[in-house]
Amino acid sequence: MDRTYEVMFIVRPDMVEEELDKLISNLEAAVTGGKGTVKSVDKMGKRRLAYVVRKFMDGFYILLTVEGTGEMVHELERRLRVTEPVIKFITVRIDESQKRVDKIKALRATRVKRPPAPVEAPAAPATGSEAPASV
């Protein structure tokens, strides 16, 4: 019963690549320590922030998709709060919305296959008697 979460956080722009990788591996260790799995790490690159955060105008965005329990996320967030280079983070639970999207897609796939079937169905009960018009 693992839940899927999406953690997006912003790192200060004047960070070195290696320190960034060290930070990410630290967080991954926290995830695996809490018996979760890291599904993907996406470095979205440097972007301009919409408002000033801790006197920075740009930031390096990183998106982390993890699977685990709520306690694991709690621990992950605690670590993010403590690490100095991280200036903002947000955690979103995505398994419910993902389920909904998958359901809609599956429904759409079946709806495409259905049109040939109803064409035959009214024809079958309509011919209740074997010789409809010959008599």
Partner 1 sequence: MADEQPTAPAAAAPSAPPSAPRHERSDRGPRPGGRPGGGPRGDKKYFRRKKVCKFCVEKIDSINYKDVGLLRQFVAERGKIVPRRLSGVCTPHQRRVTNAIKQARNIALLPFAAGF
Which residues lie near partner 1 (CB under 8 A)?
A: 8, 10, 47, 49-51, 53, 59, 63, 88-90, 92, 97, 100-101, 104-105
CB of 92 to partner 1, least distance (A): 7
Q: What is the DSSP track for the chain?
A: -PEEEEEEEEE-SS--HHHHHHHHHHHHHHHHHTT-EEEEEEEEEEEEEEEEETTEEEEEEEEEEEEE-HHHHHHHHHHHHH-SSEEEEEEEE-HHHHHHHHHHHHHHHHHHHSTHHHHHHHHHHH--SS-SS--
Indicate the residue among 61 and 67 with the shorter CB distance to partner 1.
Answer: 61
CB of 73 to partner 1, least distance (A): 16
Indicate the residue among 50 and 109 with the shorter CB distance to partner 1.
Answer: 50
Indicate the residue among 29 and 63 with the shorter CB distance to partner 1.
Answer: 63
CB of 66 to partner 1, least distance (A): 16
Indicate the residue among 50 and 112 with the shorter CB distance to partner 1.
Answer: 50
